[in-house]
Amino acid sequence: MKITSAQVFVGGPGKNYVTLKIMTDQGVYGLGDATLNNRETLPAAYLQDYLIPALIGMDPRRSEDIWQFFYRGAYFRRGPIAMAAYGAIDMALWDIKGKIAGLPCYDLFGGKSRNGAMVYAHATGADLEDLMDSVQHFVDDGYKAVRVQCGIPGMPSASYAVPEEKGSSTEYMTNFSGIRPKVETWDTGKYMRYMPQALADIRERFGPDLHILHDVHHRLTPREAAAFAKDVEPVDLYWLEDPTVADDQDALKLIRQHSTTPIAIGEVFNSIWDCNKLIENELIDFIRVAATYGGGITQLKRIIDLAGLHHVRTGFHGAPSHSPISMAAQYHLNAWAPNFGIQEYLVLGTPECDALFPHDHLMENGMVYVSDAPGLGVDFDESEATKYSYSAGSHPVVRLQDGTLWNY
């Protein structure tokens, strides 16, 4: 069996999804997602200019060797652009493997460990009351877990993932304002004084059963993060996400020494080497690597197995920047992983998105039920794809009030 050609498509409804389609000499094809939010043309170019020419003629069943060929063979390893490109190839090869075996990918990993996988939704509010309405909406929809982000009184601009105005749309994550980054202003003191009580109020309103998650989005120093994690212990969070930047894996020790609040980290990681010490030293509770720039299914399986040895559960990234293809790769891993925790999920299921990526994964009552179709269980409609083109965007940048650049 041989790979005969491969094509990259960039575009989608409201997002620049980077979709890879690998064709074989047996008529079976595989699909992968190389989307790197706001930097989409880069993995697309890496695929087109360097990787696809080398893929032609390879045996698609040899996904391990192909992964090693690109990763070890590249000399300049790692980085989100390269790993998103390898990730897309890897997903497409597992898709092909499942299709030729006539089995859904989860069966190739070891079969289902659960019927459905719990997901969490994003609740957000310009202020606490607005946020409570948003949480209520998801609770009414049957969600068992909700991430909560709230406007901070007196903060010079809206804080992370919070709309500027009450009741405004959920575009806060998708509308990234063109190629020149928008500048946000951050005030750690205001956040640390306000947010713990806001979280306590949400717990009080919704009771003990709702899983409440909160994303600090790298805004605190390790010491501040330790203090915050300790402060919110009575809220019994499901997790506190990215409380500090994890470039220095040892820095996380300080949080552990001071608090039992569960910690989730990893959505910006792209290698097992970004998280191996965090996992082995049991400094985190959830690992958030994504199937795209985390290097695909092959590397995620290794991370999941390492995590399982150290009581770390999965909580894969699922922001709207991931296409239904990488979300499907994660659904299959979630169905199998003995140490599955939760899956981030933002409503992808618009009619336009479903038309571009037809699938029968089922979302019901805050649970995702993975498709039983062979492979990843997602297709790609090329005629729909002609409706979309690339549109440049950028993440905001954050500055402190004195102008110092801070972590977004």
Active site residues: 160, 217
Minimum CB–partner distance for residue 161 and Mg ion (Å): 8
- Using the contact rule CB under 6 A, the part of the chain among 177-185, 292-300, 317-325, 350-358 near ligand KDG is 317-325
Q: How many CB atoms lie within 10 A of CB 112?
A: 17
* Helix and strand element counts for the chain (H, E): 14, 16
Q: Look-up: residue for tokens 């090693």?
A: 68
Q: Quick one: which of 33, 224, 267, 285 contacts ligand KDG (CB under 6 A)? A: 267
Q: Quick one: which of 33, 90, 95, 215 contacts Mg ion (CB under 5 A)? A: 215
Minimum CB–partner distance for residue 242 and ligand KDG (Å): 7
Range list of β-strands (E), 189-238: 211-215
Tokens of 26: 């047996």
Q: Quick one: which of 103, 108, 306, 319 contacts ligand KDG (CB under 6 A)? A: 319
**Closer to ligand KDG at the Cβ: 37 or 298?**
37
Judged by CB under 6 A, does residue 224 bind ligand KDG? no
Sequence-distant (6+) residues with CB within 8 A of 352 are: 13, 384
Do the Cβ atoms of 276 and 262 come closer than 8 Å? no
CA distances from 227 to 29, 260, 270 (A): 51, 11, 28
Which option in ligand KDG, Mg ion, none does residue 344 bind, with CB closer than 5 to 8 A by kind? Answer: ligand KDG
- Using the contact rule CB under 5 A, the part of the chain among 53-61, 145-153, 261-269, 389-397 near Mg ion is 261-269
- Using the contact rule CB under 5 A, the part of the chain among 16-24, 94-102, 170-178, 265-273 near Mg ion is 265-273
User: In what order do the strands lie in the sheet containing 18-24?
Assistant: 3-10, 18-24, 29-33
**Closer to ligand KDG at the Cβ: 200 or 319?**
319
Q: Which residue is nearest to ligand KDG (CB)?
A: 319
Which option in Mg ion, ligand KDG, none does residue 37 bind, with CB closer than 5 to 8 A by kind? Answer: ligand KDG
Do the Cβ atoms of 97 and 63 come closer than 8 Å? yes
Which option in Mg ion, ligand KDG, none does residue 261 bind, with CB closer than 5 to 8 A by kind? Answer: none
> In terms of C-beta density within 10 A (0-12 exposed, 13-18 middle, 19 or more buried), how is residue 167 classed?
exposed
Angstrom distance (rounded) from CA 305 to CA 301:
6
Lay out the site mask for ligand KDG across 157-196 (x = CB under 6 A, - = otherwise): ----------------------------------------
Enumerate binding residues for ligand KDG (CB under 6 A). Answer: 37, 215, 217, 267, 317, 319, 321, 344
